[in-house]
Structure 1
Amino acid sequence: MYVCVCNAIRESELRQVARRSGGDAEAVYATLGKRPNCGSCLDDAEAILFEEREMACEPVYAE
């Protein structure tokens, strides 16, 4: 799914970069070599970054 139509940034790309770098959505866009244009995607991008980083911090329990 595209999160940022202006830059053709997919959700999967944001999730991959969220695991490798910190910062807000604008910083992650910069890591991808892009910058927000209209800005309507930033709230959704922030939510995806937060979710991905939270999942990376959750402990994994073996059953």
Structure 2
Amino acid sequence: MASYRIYYVGAGGRLRLDRDMDCAGDREAVEKLLDRRADGRAGELWNGGRLVGRFSKLGLFTPAVGS
């Protein structure tokens, strides 16, 4: 299992930690992220110091380059 973090874009465009979660890999982390996301906020998904990707206010996920 790998540790992932979801960050949302908060006031002034700053990222704010929303939650930590353990997943078997990127695919599972993205699925969990999109299943739980229904509040219309944009943000990022991280695995340690590696950006996995970004998600828009509309819930569209864009993988990071090289992910």
Q: TM-score, normalised by structure 1?
A: 0.31
Query: Whose RCO is larger (CA < 8 A, sep 6+)?
Result: 1
Query: As a proportion of its length, which structure holds more helix?
Result: 1
Query: As a proportion of its length, which structure holds more strand?
Result: 2
